[in-house]
Structure 1
Amino acid sequence: MDENIIEQYCDNLWMERGLSKNTLDSYKSDLKNLHLWLDKKSKNLLNCEREDLNIFLSYKMDQGNSVTSVIRFLSVIRGFYSWSKENNKIKYNPTDLLESPKIRRNLPINLSEDDVTRILNAPDIKTELGVRDKTILELLYATGLRISELTNLKITQINLTDGLVKVMGKGNKERIIPIGQNALNYIKIYLNKSRAKFIKTDNNEYLFLSNKGQPISRKSCWKMISSYAKINSQKKKISPHSLRHAFASHLLNHGADLRSVQMLLGHSSLSTTQIYTHVAKERLIQFHSKHHPRG
């Protein structure tokens, strides 16, 4: 029964909110995880109580899950039980009055402009693979794309004439982002001289392809960026998201307003973007201390 109602709930999310397959798969995994745990206690999703959920959240923490992961999981089950209550599948919502773990918001890894330049210059552009990787790095930093947005990018989403990329972000929200001349130049080089090497099948509408001719995966991008960071002796733990952080904080350092950065990043809430102001302020303080005669 639990698995059927999980499918019903996720089908509803897909129809009502247009969530991506990755997000829906994550929701299903979380709810099935809870279902299996409850099943061992001879309970199910529709007859559990708040205390059961409290115990389960503690269990998740004891397993080594981060506070952020547990809060995300709690958000998933809150949504599930709200939907269940609205659709008369339960009389009482067990997540009512359920407290969230407290989280300390960490600042994103702060890459300087020199750090980014070293990473972007790491690929060997004498090879087709190096040109592809260089283009990926340039595009990530130039646009602040999420890695899932980049790996799902199709050639038709790139406007080479106007230098724009059209992106379908979270919740199927569309946004259009300027690419910038450096990234645009490398996209053209990649399309004209390198991409053909990666084409192995007729299904080649995606911009970035793997050596097997498939759309490049998030995992491959993660490994690629980490390897180029290590080549340049980056001691920081660098990920695709690090370039998104750098995109936002460097824009703010150069005077961009917060609302514009929010639109470029595709954040639905300004509060999500505000974390980058702390990074920008920190850089400005360091700059002032280093260069001002009374710093």
Structure 2
Amino acid sequence: MAKRITKLQQLQAGQPESAAPSAGQAVCDEFLVYLKRECHLADNTVAAYGRDMKRFVGWMDGRRPATLTISDLSDFVASLHGEGLAPTSISRAIVAVRTFFKYLQLEGIAVDNPAELLATRKAWQRMPGVLSPTEVDLFLSAVKKSDTFWQRDRALLEVLYATGCRATEVCTLRIRDLAFDDRTLRCHGKGDKQRLVPIGGRAIQAIQLYLEESRQILSDRNPGQVDELFLSRGGKPLDRIQLWRLVKRYAKRAGIADEISPHSLRHSFATHLLAGGADLRQVQEMLGHASIQTTQIYTHVEHSRLQKIHRDFHPRA
């Protein structure tokens, strides 16, 4: 045990560039011994982990494991995709890295395990299509003044993309949830959990125009008192089905893929924030995710999109 800790500490302390690969391989070998002797894994499983760890150590290129962030590990997963590995191989490599960091924690070398936040390919592959910024512009511009209650529709679409709120959360927004001076709105999420979500100037302008010109007309069609912001043609709160139909209508007009749904605007919101350099935990808070592992999915979506751009446009891709 003492010998193993010494080598791990050497890796954490940093080595000259020429010594880093051997130190990395040493800790990898010790990790595999741990899997076999203490975890009692089968020889074939240990061998598979060995291949995964050899690839991981090579990718680290002398860096210390404890300095790696979730963003770094996402880059590692992206490199696996770049190698064209099968989905099952990528998932196993993620499990191997998670276990490796647990091992470092047991040895007292690493305090945190950022690999716990990695999502497997099976999770993020279910992610619906994400609109590009250009497609978002086309989509938001698809509402025309010739459309009945176009002010409502434009405000609705602007809010979906500006806040990343779920369809139900948008449908249940109330006028008193708006705080234009603070540029926020109060969102009622799952389990009636509330959160404040920032909202941009364009969305605020669209809401104000809707409140000034259309909402009262819709409200007068329903004798009952309605607090919800977005109303149907009958003056009742807009429901998810009606919202879904509106999104489909304007997506079709904009020439965007058929699979686009209200949730696609939420996915696009998160992906574009991360692509712009937003912190993962800040995005988690804005989306209202209980677990950051759910938010982590979007980093994989962004890597996948960037890889496609590289393949399509780089002359030597």
Q: Where does residue 283 of structure 2 map in the other structure?
A: 261
Matches within 5 A, 1:199-238: 199=219, 200=221, 201-238=223-260
- How do 1:108-257 and structure 2 match up within 5 A? 108-127=128-147, 129-199=149-219, 200=221, 201-257=223-279
Q: How does 1:37-76 map to 2 (within 5 A)?
A: none
Q: Matches of 1:231 and 1:264 in 2, distance apart?
A: 29
1:235 to partner: Cα distance: 2.6
CA contact (8 A) 1:131 1:194 kept: yes
C-alpha contact (below 8 Å) 1:124/1:131 kept by paired residues: no
Q: 2:306 aligns with which of 274, 284, 292?
A: 284
| RMSD (Å) for aligned C-alpha atoms | 2.0
| Structure 1: gaps (5+ residues) | 1-102
Write the letter of the residue equivalent to 1:112.
S
In 2, Cα distance between the equivalents of 1:226 and 1:190? 21
What is the number of equivalent residue pairs in this alignment? 194
Contact between 1:128 and 1:197, CA under 8 Å: does it hold in 2?
Answer: no
CA distance in 2, matches of 1:109, 1:178: 24
Match of 2:122 in 1: 104
Q: Which amino acid aligns with 2:176?
A: T
Q: Rg bigger for which structure?
A: 2
Identity %: 43
What is the alpha-carbon distance in structure 2 between the residues aligned to residue 236 and residue 260 of structure 1? 31
The CA deviation at 1:238 is: 1.2
How far is the alpha carbon of 1:176 from its aligned partner? 0.4
Q: Secondary structure at the match of 1:213?
A: coil
SS at 2:231's partner residue? coil
Worse-matched range after superposition: 242-251 or 115-124: 115-124
Tell me by how many angstroms 1:265 deviates: 0.3
Alpha-carbon offset, residue 202 of structure 1: 3.8
* Partner secondary structure for residue 283 of structure 1: helix
Query: What TM-score results when the alignment is normalised by the length of structure 2?
Result: 0.58
**Separation (CA, whole Å) in 2 of partners of 1:294 and 1:242:** 32
Amino acid across the alignment from 1:192 = E
Q: Secondary structure at the match of 1:165?
A: strand
- Contact kept, 8 Å, 2:187 with 2:194, in 1: the verdict is yes
Measure, in 1, the Cα distance between the counterparts of 2:175 and 2:127.
Answer: 34
With structure 1 as the length reference, what TM-score do the two structures score? 0.62
